[in-house]
Amino acid sequence: MFTDKKSLLLNRKTQWLALFAIALVAVAFVVVPVWIIQPFKPQTARGVEVSYNLRLWSPLVTILSLASGLFLVASLWQGSPRWWKKAILVVVLIPLLASTWFARQNHFEWMFNPLANAAYVKTDQAAFVSDNDIVIAVESNGEAAAYPIRQMAYHHLVQDTVGGTPIVATY
């Protein structure tokens, strides 16, 4: 069977483009949710939905991307006599491998970690809360507690006991 050089070259260019596109898609599936859901940044319901769906599908998409990428790298490796082209193939594999690993991590826990040593003070000792700060207030059995939104926006939850009742306040 005869294959001319022009169609072979076009095929190789298509493989290179496909490899870069696959790597871009795999990276996007793990970077976009992190970019949408950030501490101290307002989120929309649509943004959270998109982030959740990308996070849900990222393990499958990244493993398929890695398998496709490995196939393309093997195909391109054989026909690349130049060392620098092989180096580029290895460099393209790095984000594919990283995104495949990262898709299996709970990076939201890395971004929003709870307070390790939460400390509570009486109202007159709370110098870190100004009069115009917004707080979450809880009252139970005659006892009240307030949690500043400024701190809750990063940590998202606090465990406490108010009026003898254990609670978890979340924001």
Of the ranges 4-13, 35-44, 100-109, 152-161, the best mean pLDDT one: 100-109
Element (H, E) at 166: strand 165-170
Q: Which tokens hold the place of 40? A: 């101290």
- pTM value > 0.85: no
What would the pLDDT profile of 83-104 be if each residue is shown by its tens digit? 888 999 999 999 999 999 999 9
Q: Are 142 and 99 in contact (CB under 8 A)?
A: no
- Where is average pLDDT lowest: 20-29, 43-52, 113-122, 148-157? 113-122
List strand residue ranges (DSSP E) for 8-142, in order.
135-140
Q: Which tokens hold the place of 35? A: 């970019």
